[in-house]
Amino acid sequence: MPKDKLRICVIGAGAAGLSSAWSLNRFDRFEVHVYEAAGHAGGVATTLAIPLNGGASGASVWINDQVQGGADSYRNTLHLFARFGFAFTPVTLRVSIGSGDAAWNNVTRTPFLERMRPEIKRFERILRAIDRAKAPFAFVPIDTLLTWGRFSPEFRSHMLYPLMSLFLGSGVKSAEVPATLVAQLFLDKDVRLFDFDSDTFLSSSPPMVAFPNLTDVYTKIAAELGGRVYLRRPVRAVTRSKDRVLVTDAQGNTDAFDQVIFACEAESALRLLASPSPLERLVLGSVDYDEVPFLTHADADFMRRSYGADPEDAVQYYVRNSPRDPAMIDMSFNLKRYQVHLADSAVDVFQTISPIERIDDKRVFLKRVTRHNSHTRKHLALTVPLWRFLQGRRRTWFCGAYTLFNVHEMAIVSGLAAADRLGAAYPFGDDARARKQFDMYSGLVYGKSRAIS
């Protein structure tokens, strides 16, 4: 092996870890090894087999589990998937939010939506003012601005925050999301998750995409690394010196590397680091996580009771506030209306996060607790601005959606950015929209855009 070949260890084989490993592996001067504690590649981007007819026939269908798709602005994800022969499927977004007198959706004009129209127009003016100023509002929670603007509790609790929870997974902490980020999510065509409408709040036909079989995608990406993705190999410790990084696995085996990329959760990175610096302790220790129950099921009666939903309608997303506590939100997805290969399936497949009411255990395929980083003002005001002072120090790099905000595109971009800093030039520069996503991320997390133009 040439002496100038750089040995790099990536800890974590999720979207961030594999995108960084793939990008580095394009160049002969890197030798990349990926350690993964789980038995599969892809992290939370997993695919499950769901039995038909209770499993009696032995037949099943697949579903993407914790990650189903995203906005059409996910250009880096699109290009990475395309390199391996996978494509997005366009879908038209249908959302139903609230219940009773507070019900609204992005298809029909409900009485609640009509009542909210004056506040929707005021909200648009505030968003555009935030978008023009940007920096001063990066540390101001959106709820603070809405309080100053005398927006009603109805608008906040039954319109804005449920919608944000749906796409950011921010749950009851939606009120703490910085105002600048909210403006970007609504107005910036290259990063937005919502297609804003000044009359109806959410466009009747915002373009969205459904992902292909994610297990197939990430298994194929991992395979390109030629056997250097080690599944079921958790790391026990990472020790850094002036000239190398020692990675010790759970079995006590130690290997030496030139650089290490942490593509695992922040708390795991902090636990693995031997002698972390005070700044590493501060930044990694300031990333908070939410843990919420996540059920995959076929309980159509629950959907009818909870949302007044007809499982045969075209709605993909349902969100509502608890009748007892408006701050409590549960949300459900009708995967048969999202993942198009299920359209002719004999079984309805729903997913519900933090169910307020009981779901019939006999109709539950899987129960799990899902984790994601919280989008609090502390995260955007403290953690994000400090990443740039950690990246590359002591031969160490950090990537993952938690370094900015929790969407799949950011996980991919974060991995490409870590690889770019190590000398693997950003691969999708011909696409202006993809490049803008990348440069925006790099500017925030590294203090400047691409390392290699």
Whether residue 312 sits in one domain with residue 267: no
Number of domains into which the chain is organized: 2
For residue 365 the two structure tokens come to 């395929």
Q: Which domain holds residue 302?
A: 91-210+290-373
For residue 18 the two structure tokens come to 């594999």
Whole-angstrom Cα distance, residue 41 to residue 20?
Answer: 14
pLDDT, residue 452, reads: 56
Q: Do 65 and 287 touch, CB atoms closer than 8 A?
A: no
Given 358, 373, 388, the domain boundary residue is: 373
Whether residue 398 sits in one domain with residue 258: yes
Angle, CA 126 vertex, CA 123 and CA 131 arms, to 5°: 125
Whether residue 298 sits in one domain with residue 205: yes
Residue 60 domain flag = no
Residue 96 domain flag = yes
Using alpha carbons, select from 104, 95, 94, 93 the residue that is nearest to residue 157.
104
pLDDT, residue 380, reads: 72
Whole-angstrom Cα distance, residue 115 to residue 89?
Answer: 35
Residue 14 domain flag = yes
pLDDT, residue 138, reads: 75
Cβ neighbours, 10 Å, residue 363? 17
> pLDDT tens-digit profile of 382-431?
788 899 999 999 999 999 999 988 889 999 999 999 999 999 999 999 99
Whether residue 205 sits in one domain with residue 137: yes
CATH number for the domain spanning 131: value is 3.90.660
Whether residue 174 sits in one domain with residue 110: yes
Whole-angstrom Cα distance, residue 215 to residue 294?
Answer: 19
Whole-angstrom Cα distance, residue 273 to residue 258?
Answer: 15
Whether residue 347 sits in one domain with residue 245: no
Whether residue 340 sits in one domain with residue 310: yes
pLDDT, residue 3, reads: 57
pLDDT, residue 29, reads: 96
Given 341, 356, 373, the domain boundary residue is: 373
> pLDDT tens-digit profile of 257-287?
999 999 999 999 999 999 999 999 999 999 9
User: How far, in Å, are 15, 49, 80, 409 from residue 76 at the CA level?
Assistant: 12, 27, 6, 7
pLDDT, residue 345, reads: 77
Whether residue 390 sits in one domain with residue 279: yes
Whether residue 299 sits in one domain with residue 364: yes
Which segments in the chain show pLDDT lower than 50? 1-2, 54-56, 171-172
pLDDT, residue 55, reads: 46
The amino acid at 120: I
Q: Which residue shows structure tokens 């997913």? A: 351
Residue 196 domain flag = yes
Buried b / exposed e over 288-324, threshold 16 CB at 10 Å, is bebeeebbbbbbbebbeebbebebeeebbbbbbbeee
Residue 143 domain flag = yes
Cβ neighbours, 10 Å, residue 432? 9
Whether residue 338 sits in one domain with residue 294: yes
Those residues with Cβ within 8 angstroms of residue 362's Cβ, 6 or more apart along the chain or in another chain:
none
The amino acid at 319: V
The amino acid at 217: V
Given 373, 396, 424, the domain boundary residue is: 373
Whether residue 199 sits in one domain with residue 107: yes
